[in-house]
Amino acid sequence: MDLNFHAQLLLNGIVIGVIYALIAMGLSLIFGVLEIVNFAHGEFYMLGAMFAYFLTANWGVGYWPTVLIVTGVAISLGYVLYEALLVSLRGENFERSILLTLGLSMVLQNGAVFLFTTTPKMTATGLSYSNIIVGELRLPLARLFALGLGLAAFAALYLVLYHTRVGKAMRGVAQNRDAALMVGIDPRAVSRLAVAIGIGLSGLAGAVLAPVYAVHPLMGFSFVFKAFAIIIIGGLGSISGAAIAALMLGVLESLVGGFLPLVMVDALAFISMIAVLLLRPQGLFGRGVRV
Amino acid sequence: MTTARPLLEVRGLTKRYLGLTAVDSLSYELGTGSMVGLIGPNGSGKSTSIDCISGFQPADGGRWFLDGREMTGLAPHRIARAGLTRTFQTVRAYDELTLLANLCVASQESDGVGWMQSLFRGQPLRSADAAAQTRGLELLATVGLADYADAPAAILSYGQRKLLAIAASMMARPRLVVLDEPVAGVNPTMVRHIEEVIQKLNAQGVALLIVEHNVDFIMSLCRRVIVLESGCKIADGPPGLIRSDPRVLAAYLGKARAAELDSRSG
Amino acid sequence: MNPPRTASGMNAVPLRALAVLAGLMALFAIPKLTGNDYLLALGVSFAALSVLSGGLNLVYGYTGLLSFAQVGFFGIGSYTAALLVTERDWSLWAGVAAGGGLATVVGLVIGYSSLRLSRHAFAIVSLSFALLCMIVARDWVSLTRGAMGIPGLPTPTLSLPGGIRWRIAQPADFYYLLLGFVVFAHAVIYLVVTSRLGRAMRAIKLNEPLAQSHGINPLAYKLLAIALSALLAGMVGGLFVFYLTIVDPSIFDFYYTETMLIMVIIGGPGSFWGVLLSSAVLTALPDLLRFTTDLRMVLYGAVLIAAMLLCPGGLGGWLHRRRVARWRQPRPAPRS
């Protein structure tokens, strides 16, 4: 029984970690390429989840089409967001970008509360109650799919970043903006794509998690601050660092929560972040002194 | 050559950037009230070396002393308070403050008025403020900006901003002012004006270390010129000597061209 | 510093002082003129929000440090005062002072540790700090009684000089008490921002390397701004929570942060009177317009976006641009 309990916790932790990673990597990509901290990032996760809920509950759309539609819409939203609001922001004015995206988050979050109320909604898909039984372990199908899709997204992101021209351009801008400009990379095109991908990842995370947890307008709020902590722990500017830190946090939260239910699980992210800032400011995997 | 302690002593200053040595064991001395130019081709380490001695960049090696007091590793504000002030290549000013306020800020940490005295507005503060205003107006007159004393600094032209920065660097009665490219990007009339201003200030007893690309400006203004190349000092002496030094010519014109000139004149 | 003048050239300072005095007298007279409890409640809200936004203005508007920590200091002051008064029988003065003191110490710690890195780190750490406070308040039940909070705070009694014991029971009593604190807090802020200290803070915000080259120590002034804003936020939190008669984790709600940010942005970061005015207007306005909280927040968000895109300086910034424009126009012989 004990081993199964561990394994169950581990699986839950990995699933949550993958979700954290999707959100944190998007945030890290946007920060790396545009030097903008996207306060509204969690809201796109929430919108993805809400949209997925409505597709499934109101229009009976199946799981896979829902995920595809939501991700596609999220990517488009990313383009719109960039062109409408972010294109005029420049990296030097850090405070302006935080406040602008904070304003956006206020509009989206409170708008959602106004339209949908704060009552959580459970998405009942065909998967909700299906489990795969492996020995003594119950592996909920919805979580397994979440894990699988998350890993697929990582693989896709890796391919884009390391094996396409535009992906390499993004990494170039993230590492050294001036040098990238000098070799002729178009910052606008690269930034636009970075935002589209970042928001797309958030939307995907929301769609994939909708069948697992309850959906409500405030769900993005708590995630986004943990995502900030994660990218600092992983090292600002390091996308893979964000992913690893996210996975570690997910597993840590799950294990700690399982064995020490009295401890403040939510605080772990922030306490770890403060510890990292004090002991190793460039983060676990950061290279530059970007902090 | 007097045996008095030099005002500024730099010993073995070294600064590296990711494997590139920007400043390589630079050593020199400046006397009180002297006017020294620091020139060299692009990438020679001039600006980096003064960023280090003014505390704005950490040095990787070496020590430097102002009037015998060690300045190595001190924060920039402490070096400024010790008597070494500077201007910046990218001209800096407090745009939202008036010109006079710009100047008064520059001396407020050096006139002995503490926080409590600042808050409770007694006589020490009032005298210090009055003295600062007087000095500020004098300096504005010296640089020719007295008419704009109550104007926000945002209205100044590029050249005027440079004058303001020079005036501000003088407010706290420094021993040494380091000017970082004071005439870069400025029209010839303004260049002459700035040259006059610098001479007036030097006449008041302040030592000046001037980093510049405009070699003619330095040669006509300074009694002594230090030349850097690739982080090393390659020449140090009066303008006449520097002008014909083969190493200097090689640094600026390239070895082939320098040899050509040398053979022509020789 | 140059004294402001009105358009006709008269010295504006006595005029402004007179206007402030008249305004204060009117405010203090309100409970006597009308028994409207609703107005008094509005006044108490104004008190808390104006002190919070005044402190934020000091840190962000004057010194240029974006900080989300204010609400954390507010809540720490509240919980500290509430706990000391209910569990240790401390007097209200002492509890409030202790609340402010603890908030100040915490502020110095987070400021010093993160400002050594950068102001970006400080912004993010301040945000996490505020969230951490909410989590601790909710989850560390043995200390804070958890999500239920500490209800039923007793009616405080203040011992005033002269042996008077003032029982703060009626809404009017809280109104006078908090309004008095608003005056005190803003007087302190005004004293600082119009002094050399405030000028140094502005210099740091306008051009930090330049300020360093003039001998100004940025870390010292940033810590001063943080400490003062934390002290005032903590103290007003201690007072406010006795008006509410309950302290619970909602005292750390992000709503306060969003509201005080809007007040500072609209009033103009760095504009003392602008922010004070906007905090008054924005406290009264929503209730006048009868928006629900959600819609109000949507509106604030939209205003924030618009401000950042079009007019980041707010009211104060617009006034400054007018001043610059006036200097650029051709005008008669300048002063010599």
Nearest CA in chain C to B56: C209
Residue pair A251/A14 in contact (Cβ under 8 Å)? The answer is yes
ipTM: 0.92
Express each pLDDT in A236-252 by its tens digit. Answer: 778 888 899 999 999 99
Q: Which of A96-105, A270-279, B162-171 has the lowest mean pLDDT?
A: A270-279
Residue pair B46/B221 in contact (Cβ under 8 Å)? The answer is no
Nearest CA in chain B to C192: B119
pLDDT at site A290? 39
Q: Do C292 and A114 touch (CB under 8 A)?
A: yes
Contacts of A104 in chain C (CB under 8 A): 301, 305
Most confident of A126-140, C257-271, C318-332: C257-271
Q: Do B109 and C200 touch (CB under 8 A)?
A: yes
d(C-alpha B259, C-alpha B5), whole Å = 39
Residue A270 has pLDDT above 90, yes or no: no
User: What contacts C127, CB < 8 A, 6 or more positions away?
Assistant: A225, A228, C68, C69
Using a CB–CB cutoff of 8 Å, tell me whether C199 touches chain B: yes
Q: Which of A207-221, C122-136, C228-242 has the lowest mean pLDDT?
A: A207-221
Min distance B22 CA to chain C CA atoms (Å) = 22
Total tally of structural domains belonging to chain A: 1
Q: How far is CA B56 from CA B18, B106, B249, in A?
A: 18, 17, 31
Q: Do B85 and C214 touch (CB under 8 A)?
A: yes
**Is there an interface between B and A (3+ Cβ pairs < 8 A)?**
no
d(C-alpha B223, C-alpha B85), whole Å = 21
pLDDT at site A261? 65
The residue type found at C5 is R
Q: Average per-residue pLDDT in chain C?
A: 86
The CA-based angle C200-B87-B140, given to 5 degrees, is: 75
Mean pLDDT on C282-308: 81
Using a CB–CB cutoff of 8 Å, tell me whether B77 touches chain C: yes
Express each pLDDT in B54-74 by its tens digit. Answer: 999 999 999 999 999 999 999
| Structure tokens belonging to residue A151 | 């890993």
The CATH superfamily holding the domain B8-91+173-265 is P-loop containing nucleotide triphosphate hydrolases (3.40.50.300)
Nearest CA in chain C to A271: C132
Query: Torsion over CA of C213, C313, C111 and C142, rounded to 10 degrees?
Result: 170
Distance between alpha carbon C116 and the CA centroid of its chain, in Å? Answer: 25
Q: Do A274 and C60 touch (CB under 8 A)?
A: no
Residue B266 has pLDDT above 50, yes or no: no
Contacts of C60 in chain A (CB under 8 A): 95
Contacts of C192 in chain B (CB under 8 A): 119
pLDDT at site C33? 74
pLDDT at site C297? 85
Residue A182 has pLDDT above 60, yes or no: yes
Contacts of B104 in chain C (CB under 8 A): 199
pLDDT at site A263? 62
Residue C334 has pLDDT above 60, yes or no: no
- Residue matched to tokens 């309950």: C246
pLDDT at site A289? 41
> What CATH number does residue A135 fall under?
1.10.3470
- Per the model's pLDDT, the better-predicted residue between C239 and B246 turns out to be C239
pLDDT at site C331? 52
Contacts of C334 in chain B (CB under 8 A): 147-148
pLDDT at site B100? 95
pLDDT at site C289? 65
Nearest CA in chain C to B177: C213
Using a CB–CB cutoff of 8 Å, tell me whether C246 touches chain A: no
The residue count for chain B: 266
Contacts of B86 in chain C (CB under 8 A): 213
Closest Cβ–Cβ partner in A111, A113, A228 for C124: A228
Contacts of C127 in chain A (CB under 8 A): 225, 228
Using a CB–CB cutoff of 8 Å, tell me whether C6 touches chain A: no
pLDDT at site A288? 47
Whether A174 is covered by a domain: the verdict is: yes
User: What's this model's pTM, rounded to 2 decimal places?
Assistant: 0.88
Confidence of residue A291 (pLDDT cuts 50, 70, 90): very low
Express each pLDDT in B158-184 by its tens digit. Answer: 999 999 999 999 999 999 999 999 999
Contacts of A96 in chain C (CB under 8 A): 308, 312
Q: Do C124 and A221 touch (CB under 8 A)?
A: no
d(C-alpha A217, C-alpha A104), whole Å = 14
Whether A224 is covered by a domain: the verdict is: yes
Nearest CA in chain C to A86: C309
Chains contacting B (3 or more CB pairs within 8 Å): C
Torsion sign (Cα): B19, B23, B27, B32? negative
- Indicate the domain borders of chain B: 8-91+173-265, 94-155
Mean pLDDT on C132-145: 85
Closest Cβ–Cβ partner in C217, C328, C334 for B77: C217
Min distance C117 CA to chain A CA atoms (Å) = 7
Q: How many CB pairs under 8 A join B and C?
A: 111
Mean pLDDT on A68-93: 85
**Is there an interface between A and C (3+ Cβ pairs < 8 A)?**
yes
pLDDT at site B7? 94
Min distance B59 CA to chain C CA atoms (Å) = 17
Q: In B, residues 157-216, which contact C (CB 8 Å cutoff)? A: 168-169, 171-172
In chain C, % of residues over pLDDT 70? 90
Using a CB–CB cutoff of 8 Å, tell me whether C331 touches chain B: no
Domain range enclosing A187: 2-279
Q: Do C196 and B118 touch (CB under 8 A)?
A: yes
Q: Do A110 and C125 touch (CB under 8 A)?
A: no
- Indicate the domain borders of chain C: 36-253
Residue B1 has pLDDT above 80, yes or no: no
Whether A284 is covered by a domain: the verdict is: no
DSSP state letters, B140-200:
HHHHT-GGGTTSBGGG--HHHHHHHHHHHHHTT--SEEEEESTTTT--HHHHHHHHHHHHH
**Residue (of C53, C86, C57, C105) closest to C236 by Cα position:** C53
- Residue matched to tokens 């920007």: B22
Q: How many CB atoms lie within 10 A of CB C306?
A: 12
- Per the model's pLDDT, the better-predicted residue between B48 and A56 turns out to be B48
Contacts of A266 in chain C (CB under 8 A): 135, 139
Using a CB–CB cutoff of 8 Å, tell me whether C131 touches chain A: yes
pLDDT at site B258? 61
